[in-house]
Every structure is written in structure tokens, then in C-alpha cells.
Amino acid sequence: MELILLRPLWLIALIPWLWQGWRRRRQPPLLAPAMHAYLLPKSRPQRPWLWLWLATLPVILSLSGPALRGELQQQPAAPLDIWLLDLSRSMTATDLKPDRATRVRWQLQQLLSRAQGERIALILYAGDAYLAMPPTRDHQALSLLLPDLRPDIMPLQGSNPARAVELAMQQLAPGEQARLLLITDDLTTNQMEQISALWPCQQRLLCRGTQPARLDILLASSGQPASMPAIPANELGFATRVPAQLPAPDSQAIAALANRLGGELQWLGSDIPRFAPLPTTTSALTPAPLDLGPWLLIPLLPLALLARIGARLMVALMLGWQLLAPQDLQAAERGELRAMQAYQQGEFQQAARTFNDPIWRGNAWYRAGAYRQAIAAYQQATSATAHYNRGNALLQLGEVAAAKEAYLAALALEPGHEDALYNLSLLQDGAAAAPDTSSKQPEPSADQQATAMPLPPSPPVLLLEQRLRKEALRRDLIKVEEPW
């Protein structure tokens, strides 16, 4: 236990308190005590000021907030696994059937089915990197996104794995450790140097145990040169479609990079890759301090009786107690502040349990991947923003009809809500493009499945594609075409 002051600025009040005591003590009486009975009218003798002066001291000390701070308590935190998925154009190569991106999605679904309580975050990258799913234990929400993650959803093509690693490092809280799983088909020498430079310490003998994360690499390649489908002409500015030839990855250099950063390299195959266990992190919890201020007011009760000015002093006591007692409004403000701090630090579940505002509580549950709780929170508000956010949460659960009703409710309150209009148009376009499943069709063969056209993307990935495009516009990575 450690004694601290919650409100130390109140100790400044000791300066006028000491000055008042010194001024009262140095004032000499104007008349000799023997002359009081003859020259002053008979009245009730003045109560001594000393009692009131002494009673002020515990009030000031109480207002300063002396408290006992408990010791830090360590508890294990859930492991953090951050997936960095390469969605560059090279992932459409067909050396792995049906293509690299599809095989990666199948593999990640298998990894997700084996996950046991760890927090998983998903970062997508091509020309730039984007946080598609913050760290969450809601693996079902992640499984809804995986089937439709294709290079076509990325707003800017290219390959920038270093930016993805940098974004993953930003998801780590101070002192937290995690595993970074980089799923890619190749890394150039320059890219490996950029990734290696992001680690704070490369001399492992001097910095053992201080690495914030380790890097495992899952290589989605056959190990041989491969060709990918021809790139559309409108993406290159040529009149014809141009095929691309991909070199074989330098597996030795990539494996050396993974080993240097605490991980290992494995090839994408039919079996689930088996990496080392995820690193565990212990989080320190500081219990709330025990405020001792109100207990310092208890000695004023007998002091009030001794001073025989109980009525006035009791009023002062009541006022002081009201100042020290936690007011509902102040407690609510402090709770909102703690919730916002937890939200900004990525502790979304803790923030959701602390927020009083239903929209912010729903936002925290949404970021935590708990979409049912988010919907329940949004239903407690009636604004257009609440209806719009509720529609997004419903889409994450695949409830398209209910999401449409939520967007329509938002538009009824705010007809110019651009995001609600855009999402509603996406749902209507998706419904028009969806195949008719009313009649049962024969099951296609394995070869037909490998070469069939992909189904229209699901609503969650449509929202993800919209969010990626907005983020790219905000970063000035892409330009909006003018109508002329």
C-alpha cells in the first residue's frame, strides 16, 4: 500500500489558513481585560475562533484526497495473433489451384477453426495496408469476411508488406507481445530490409526477451516461376490485356528473415501449418485507490461539541461531505473519460462496459466484434447515426433484410445521410446480382468448382470494400474522377 493524494491542489488552501491563524494571534487587545466590564456593553461572550480555525484543517486535508493505492496485480492476457494478408494482384496466380488467394482463404479458415480463445486481428495490404478487423475473440465475424477476400476489393494495387507490419505494430499496447503471421507469395530484398528495420532490436543476445512481436511467414507459392491471369487493359492504359510472369520466391532469404525476427517460414500446403505457440502477455491491473478523505471529517464531530458551535459546524461538515462524496455527474464524466481512454487503447470490451452513451457503447462492442451486443446498444438510441450503425452490425451477421430496414430508418430521420444511401444501394445491387436459389441445382464437380466464377460478395465484404476505399481517399492514395 502507498499513500497518495488524489487532489493535491487543495493543499494550497493551507496558505490562507496559516496566514489567518498567524494574523489572529498577533492582534493585541485594544482594552485591558479589567476594563471590559465597565466600557463594553454586556453581551454574550464571543466564541473562540480557535475551534473554527482548527476545524478547517481536517476539511482541507480531506479535500486533498489522501488515499491508499493498492499494489499492481498481474494477470495473463489472451494471446494476440495478427494476420497480414497479401491481396496484391500476384495472389491471382494459378500455380496453386484454383489460385493462390483462394488457397490462402481455405487455409485461414482451417486456422480459424483451430483457434482457442486468442484475439485475432486482420490486416489487408496491397499498395497500402488497412486494418480490416481489430483484435477480437469473435472468430465468427472474421469467418464471414474470409470467403470474399480477393485482390479486387483493394483500392490501390501494389505490394507494401512493410506498411502492413508497421500497422500491426501500432495495434500493440505498451509491453504487449504478439505473433505476426505474414501470408504472402514473395518478398523482395528491399521489402525484407524495410520489414527488418521496423523491429526495435536486431541483436538478440543483447535484447533477449524485449521483442514486441515475432514474425511467422506463410508462403503461398509453389516455389517455381508462375504466371498470373492477364491484367485488364484499363488498369494499365494499354489496348490489350498484358500477362505477367512471376519469379520464384527467394525462400532462403525469406526464411532467414523470419528466423531473425523470432519466427519461422512455412509453405502453404494441404496440411495446417504448425507454428510455435503464441506468445503470452501479462497485463498489470491497478486497483482503484481507497479515498480516506471522508474519514478525516469524523474528528470534527467531537470538536463541534467542544466548541459549542455545533449548528454552524455541522452545516460546514455537510457541505464538506457533499464536496467529497462522489457526485453522479462527476462519476459519469470520469466513467466516460475512462471508457474513451480504453477505446483509444483498443480495449473495446472494457470500453463497452464503461460507456454510458448507447452509441459509443455500441461502437465499442462493434469494434470488439460483438455485433449482437452492439445492436442492443444501438437500439437504445433513436438518432440516424444509431440506425445506420445498427444496420452495419446487422450486415456483419448476414441479416440483410433487417439491415435494409435500419438504413431506411436512418434515411427517414436524415434523408441526406450519404453513407446510409450508399450502403442501401449496395444491398439493392447485390440482391439484383444474386443468383436464384429457389430451385435445387446439381452439385458441380471439383474441376467445375475450381474454374467457376465467384459468387457475388457478401454484405460484410461490401462494407469492408467501401471502408477501404474511403480510407484510401482520406490518405490521398486514390483520386475521385471528375464528371467532365
Contact 109, 146 (CB under 8 A): yes
Predicted confidence at residue 429, as pLDDT, reads 62
Predicted confidence at residue 303, as pLDDT, reads 63
- Highest mean pLDDT, choosing among 92-96, 367-371, 473-477: 92-96
Q: Distance between CA 90 and CA 100 in Å, rounded?
A: 8
Helix (H) or strand (E) holding 208: none
431 vs 89, more confident = 89
Q: Is the model's pLDDT at 364 over the cut of 50?
A: yes
Q: Is the model's pLDDT at 455 over the cut of 50?
A: no
For 149-206, what is each residue's pLDDT tens digit? Answer: 989 899 888 999 999 999 999 988 877 888 999 999 999 999 999 999 988 665 454 4
Contact 175, 213 (CB under 8 A): no
Measuring CA to CA, which residue among 331, 385, 185 is closest to residue 265? 185
141 vs 43, more confident = 141
341 to each of 81, 103, 333, 346, 364, how far by Cα in Å?
A: 23, 40, 12, 9, 12
Decide: pTM greater than 0.75: no
Measuring CA to CA, which residue among 393, 391, 405 is closest to residue 364? 393
Measuring CA to CA, which residue among 403, 396, 393 is closest to residue 424? 403
Residue 133 banded pLDDT, cuts 50, 70, 90: confident
Residues 6+ apart with CB under 8 A from 393: 362, 366, 371, 374, 375, 378
Q: Is the model's pLDDT at 232 over the cut of 70?
A: no
- Highest mean pLDDT, choosing among 235-249, 379-393, 444-458: 379-393
Span of 106-115, 174-183, 324-333, 352-361 with lowest mean pLDDT:
324-333
* One-letter amino acid for residue 57 of the chain: L
Q: What's the CATH superfamily of 339-433?
A: Tetratricopeptide repeat domain (1.25.40.10)
> Residue 290 pairs with which residues in a beta bridge?
68
Average pLDDT in the 314-339 region? 59
Residue 433 banded pLDDT, cuts 50, 70, 90: very low
Q: How far apart are the first and last CA of the chain?
A: 71
Domain boundaries, the chain: 75-201+212-228+247-275, 339-433
Q: What's the CATH superfamily of 75-201+212-228+247-275?
A: von Willebrand factor, type A domain (3.40.50.410)
Q: Is the model's pLDDT at 104 over the cut of 90?
A: yes
Q: Distance between CA 283 and CA 77 in Å, rounded?
A: 6
In percent, how much of the chain has pLDDT > 90?
Answer: 21
101 vs 448, more confident = 101
Predicted confidence at residue 439, as pLDDT, reads 32
In percent, how much of the chain has pLDDT > 70?
Answer: 70
3-state secondary structure of 13: helix
CA angle, residues 93, 95, 101, in degrees to nearest 5: 45
Query: Where does 247-387 show beta strands of DSSP type E?
Result: 265-267, 281-285, 290-291
Query: Quick count: other Cβ atoms within 10 Å of Cβ 187?
Result: 25
Average pLDDT in the 273-288 region? 71
